[in-house]
């Protein structure tokens, strides 16, 4: 769990929910991503414009990767080879090669990118753009935006499930379900006031 104000992440036991450890990060940690084997943690440090690479076994910061302006969300591609960092104030996405710990591509998207999700096959990345009220679809092979879908007021959280994309619209008070190929709205679910979603919030039982 990222602790924005104290510059650290908190580690909890997943069964007992008891605290296990605290690990220092950079300034204002936000997005967190973890390798499938648990060997590395990636943290977006918003006010430093870097992504920290941390070895959880020791709590040591191994590297700080320079990205765009105010990184917020981070997401690992399904094959585990690249990390996407969303830069809210430079309106772009930094694509990081995690083997070399460096940014290999910067992709312009909409205004204030906030959330990221990937198709199960890893061929597409879906980015919510808060101020553009859209979803940018990135072809992960070419690293270019292939489509932009209008979505609603202040989209934030985004997740994929099979052939669906699910988006939480903060100012529209709803959750939108989209066809993952076309962006067509399949359902709109009214929820409470000002819903917010973050991280991978959709999954199978």
pLDDT tens digits along 76-88: 999 999 999 999 9
Q: Which of 19-28, 32-41, 195-204 has the lowest mean pLDDT?
A: 195-204
For residue range 7-18, list pLDDT tens digits in order: 999 999 999 999
Determine the average pLDDT of the residues in 121-131.
97
The mean of the pLDDT values for the chain is: 95
Global confidence as pTM? 0.95
136 burial type by CB count under 10 A (0-12 exposed, 13-18 middle, 19+ buried): buried
Strand residues in the chain grouped as ranges (E): 2-3, 8-12, 19-24, 29-34, 41-45, 50-55, 60-66, 71-76, 82-87, 92-97, 102-108, 113-118, 124-129, 134-139, 144-150, 155-161, 164-169, 174-179, 185-190
φ/ψ region of 6 (left if φ > 0, alpha if ψ in -120 to 50, else beta) reads alpha
Triad 127, 186, 178: Cα angle to 5°: 10
The pLDDT of residue 204 is above 80: no
Q: In the prediction, which pLDDT does 91 show?
A: 98
Q: In the prediction, which pLDDT does 198 show?
A: 80
Give percent above pLDDT 70 in the chain. Answer: 99
**Total number of residues shown for the chain:** 205
Q: In the prediction, which pLDDT does 183 show?
A: 97
Scanning the structure block, which residue is given the tokens 């094959």?
Answer: 79
Determine the average pLDDT of the residues in 30-43.
95
What is the spatial distance between Cα 21 and Cα 199, in angstroms, rounded to a whole number?
A: 21
The pLDDT of residue 27 is above 70: yes
């Amino acid at each position: 769990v990222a602790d924005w104000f104290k510059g650290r992440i908190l580690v909890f036991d997943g069964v007992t929910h008891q605290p296990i450890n605290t690990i220092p990060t950079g300034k204002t940690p936000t997005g967190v991503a973890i390798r499938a084997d648990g060997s590395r943690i990636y943290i977006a440090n918003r006010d430093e414009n870097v992504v920290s690479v941390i070895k959880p076994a020791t709590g040591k910061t191994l590297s700080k990767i320079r990205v765009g302006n105010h990184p917020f969300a981070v997401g690992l591609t399904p094959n585990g080879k690249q990390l996407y960092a969303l830069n809210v104030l430079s309106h772009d996405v930094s694509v990081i090669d995690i083997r070399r710990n460096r940014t290999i591509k910067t992709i312009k998207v909409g205004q204030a990118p906030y959330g990221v999700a990937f198709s199960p096959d890893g061929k597409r990345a879906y980015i919510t753009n808060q101020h553009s009220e859209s979803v940018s679809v990135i072809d992960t092979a070419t690293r270019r935006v292939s489509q932009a879908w209008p979505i609603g007021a202040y989209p934030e959280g985004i997740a994929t499930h099979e052939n669906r994309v699910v988006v939480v619209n903060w100012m529209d008070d709803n959750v939108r379900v989209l066809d993952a190929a076309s962006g067509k709205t399949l359902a709109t679910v009214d929820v409470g006031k000002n819903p917010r979603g973050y991280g991978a919030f959709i999954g199978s039982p």
